[in-house]
């Protein structure tokens, strides 16, 4: 790996002697960590919530001292509570690094791939992630190998000579589940850097660092913020060296989040456990009913006993997630008719908000060609399950009729 150039003003102040995020909350359940982490120090009259600081620069003269803030492109105290909370949730010994978007975070991960290197990616993944990999291939001679992450032998065979293994599990939108411990171990044996996009599962569903991942990526826009009102990303690193390089990339490329966005993300994070618990339970019930629906050809959700990812998800994950893949009768036209007929479900892209949404993924020309034309990706929110079911049922029956 080539070291990125770091400008003189990109150094982050040395951390203080306090324990890392995970150690500071050791012994607490994740559902408690989402509430407790990232709070101000307790003192008489102190605020319960961290403040938003709106300043682009800080008073500074002479040589910057450890712990001093200098300029808000490098660091600002408004980022710290969210970064500490996410680091604690992922079981990291250091804070996360917040970015302006999920793709800015993905770009930071891809920055570890040298010109002419090889990156192994899922054949099904977020379409813009795959587009970024293809862009690297075109402008930097990077070799991109797409694999079925559910086929462990296929992934391992692709690792020889690779610079980076980037995984999604479950994948977007096909919900394939990878054997993370096996794949991450195989990559480590071969000296391949590993990153896991944990957006779908969230840290409540799995913690890739515990399985040996080098980096964990989040589109904070989705479940972590949870209210469809923030665009944000984050990277969590397994070592100080990796964290410093990720942070240097953010500083050098200016991929920084705004203070209000980070504050809103932390506010949304406080209810993550409640939202995910409700959404997962509803998703599993909807999957069960949809599997018997006369106007549905196929349902994908790891909670279903006959789903290809069920055994692996039951063994490796805490919960099955709140994303469904549904193929209604009538092909792509039938799927479009369902989207047009729903009244409670929101026809929209993105996912992970409190509202339930759906879309036909192949409406995007850039979606993987192996994704079925008629596949609907459903993001289950926190509404009443019976209301969601009635709306979906009438749309399916109306589209088929």
The catalytic residue positions are 73, 126, 197, 222
The answer to whether the beta carbons of residues 168 and 218 sit under 8 Å apart is: no
Up-side HSE of residue 331: CA atoms within 13 Å toward CB?
A: 1
CA distance 160 to 29: 38
Cα distances (angstroms) measured from residue 239 to each of 109, 113, 208, 242: 14, 18, 14, 5
């Amino acid at each position: 790996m080539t070291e990125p150039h770091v400008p003189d003003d990109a150094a982050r102040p040395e951390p203080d002697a306090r324990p890392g995020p995970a150690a500071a909350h050791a012994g607490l359940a994740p559902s408690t960590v989402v509430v407790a982490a990232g709070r101000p120090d307790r003192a008489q009259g102190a605020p319960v919530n961290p403040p938003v600081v709106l300043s682009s620069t800080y008073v500074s003269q002479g040589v910057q001292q450890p712990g001093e803030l200098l300029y808000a492109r490098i660091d600002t105290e408004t980022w710290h509570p969210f970064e500490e909370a996410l680091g604690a949730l992922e079981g990291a010994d250091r804070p996360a690094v917040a970015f302006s978007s999920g793709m800015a975070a993905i770009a930071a991960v891809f920055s570890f791939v040298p010109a002419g290197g090889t990156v192994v990616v899922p054949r099904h993944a977020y379409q813009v992630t795959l587009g970024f990999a293809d862009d690297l291939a075109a402008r930097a001679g990077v070799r991109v190998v797409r694999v079925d992450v559910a086929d462990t032998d296929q992934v391992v065979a692709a690792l020889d000579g690779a610079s980076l293994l980037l995984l999604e599990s479950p994948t977007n939108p096909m919900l394939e589940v990878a054997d993370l411990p096996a794949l991450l171990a195989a990559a480590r044996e071969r000296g391949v850097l590993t990153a896991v996009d944990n957006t779908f599962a969230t840290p409540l569903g799995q913690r890739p660092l515990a399985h040996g991942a080098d980096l964990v990526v989040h589109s904070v826009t989705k479940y972590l913020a949870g209210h469809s009102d923030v665009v944000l990303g984050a990277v969590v690193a397994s070592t100080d060296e990796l964290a410093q390089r990720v942070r240097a990339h953010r500083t050098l490329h200016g991929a920084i989040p705004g203070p209000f966005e980070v504050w809103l993300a932390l506010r949304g994070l406080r209810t993550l456990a409640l939202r995910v618990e409700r959404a997962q339970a509803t998703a599993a019930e909807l999957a069960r009913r949809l599997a018997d629906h006369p106007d549905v050809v196929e349902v994908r959700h790891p909670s279903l006993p006959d789903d290809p990812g069920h055994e692996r998800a039951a063994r490796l994950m805490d919960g099955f997630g709140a994303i469904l893949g549904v193929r209604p009768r009538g092909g792509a036209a039938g799927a479009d008719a369902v989207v047009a007929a729903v009244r409670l479900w929101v026809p929209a892209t993105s996912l992970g908000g409190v509202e339930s949404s759906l879309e036909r993924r192949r409406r995007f020309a850039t979606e993987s060609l192996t994704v079925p034309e008629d596949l609907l990706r459903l993001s289950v929110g926190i509404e009443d399950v019976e209301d969601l079911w009635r709306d979906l049922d009438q749309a399916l029956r109306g589209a088929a009729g």
